[in-house]
Amino acid sequence: MGMTMTQKILARAAGLDKVVAGQLIMAKLDLVLGNDITSPVAIKEMDKMKTEGVFNKDKIALVPDHFVPNKDIKSAEHCRCVRNFAKKNEITNYFEVGEMGIEHALLPEKGLTVPGDVIIGADSHTCTYGAVGAFSTGVGSTDMAAGMATGEAWFKVPSAIKFNLTGKPAKWISGKDIILHIIGMIGVDGALYRSMEFVGDGIQYLSMDDRFTISNMAIEAGGKNGIFPVDDKTIAYLKEHTKREYTVFEADADAEYDEEYTIELDKLQPTVSYPHLPENTHVVSEASDIKVDQVVIGSCTNGRIEDMRIAAEILEGRHIAKGMRCIIIPATQSIYLECMEKGYLKTFIQSGCVVSTPTCGPCLGGYMGILGDGEKCLSTTNRNFVGRMGHINSEIYLASPAVAAATAIKGNIVSPDAL
| CATH code of the domain covering residue 318 | 3.30.499.10
DSSP type of residue 205: G
State how far the Cα of 163 lies from the Cα of 155, in Å rounded to an integer: 23
Q: Residue 228 — very low, low, confident or very high, per pLDDT cuts 50/70/90?
A: very high
Long-range contacts for 78-81 (Cβ within 8 Å, ≥24 apart)? 78/36, 78/37, 78/39, 78/40, 79/36, 81/39, 81/40, 81/43
Residue 397 belongs to a domain: yes
In the predicted structure, residue 1 carries a pLDDT above the cut 90: no
The answer to whether residues 326 and 238 belong to one domain is no
Q: Residue 164 — very low, low, confident or very high, per pLDDT cuts 50/70/90?
A: very high
The answer to whether residues 259 and 291 belong to one domain is no
The answer to whether residues 194 and 292 belong to one domain is no
In the predicted structure, residue 93 carries a pLDDT above the cut 80: yes
What pLDDT shows up at residue 78?
95
Residue 255 phi, psi (nearest 5)? -60, 145
State how far the Cα of 187 lies from the Cα of 215, in Å rounded to an integer: 16
Helix (H, G, I), strand (E, B) or coil at 295: strand
The answer to whether residues 237 and 307 belong to one domain is no
- Residue-wise pLDDT for 374-411, tens only, equals 999 999 999 999 999 999 999 999 999 999 999 999 99
Look over the chain and give the mean of its residue pLDDT values, rounded to a whole number: 96
Residue 293 belongs to a domain: yes
Residue 22 belongs to a domain: yes
The answer to whether residues 327 and 198 belong to one domain is no
Number of domains forming the structure of the chain? 2
Domain ranges, residue 55: 5-245+255-263
CB 287 within 8 A of CB 413: yes
E strands, 36-131, are 60-63, 93-94, 118-121
The answer to whether residues 286 and 379 belong to one domain is yes
In the predicted structure, residue 288 carries a pLDDT above the cut 80: no
Helix (H), strand (E) counts: the chain: 13, 18
Task: Choose the final residue of a domain: 229, 263, 297.
Answer: 263
The answer to whether residues 288 and 259 belong to one domain is no
The answer to whether residues 200 and 282 belong to one domain is no
State how far the Cα of 225 lies from the Cα of 215, in Å rounded to an integer: 7
In the predicted structure, residue 248 carries a pLDDT above the cut 90: yes
The answer to whether residues 19 and 104 belong to one domain is yes
Residue 294 belongs to a domain: yes
What pLDDT shows up at residue 418?
87
Question: Between the CA of residue 150 and those of 46, 59, 130, 156, 283, what are the distances in Å?
Answer: 11, 11, 23, 18, 47
Residue 66 belongs to a domain: yes
Helix (H, G, I), strand (E, B) or coil at 90: coil
The answer to whether residues 342 and 325 belong to one domain is yes
Residue 154 belongs to a domain: yes
Question: Between the CA of residue 314 and those of 33, 208, 397, what are the distances in Å?
Answer: 35, 21, 19
Task: Choose the final residue of a domain: 263, 295, 313.
Answer: 263
The answer to whether residues 237 and 124 belong to one domain is yes
CA neighbor of 209 nearest in space, from 116, 305, 114? 305
The answer to whether residues 77 and 191 belong to one domain is yes
Helices (H), 187-256: 208-216, 232-241
Q: Which amino acid, one-letter code, is at 397? A: Y
Residue 156 belongs to a domain: yes
Residue 250 belongs to a domain: no
What pLDDT shows up at residue 321?
97
CB 359 within 8 A of CB 95: no
Task: Choose the final residue of a domain: 263, 292, 309.
Answer: 263
What pLDDT shows up at residue 407?
97
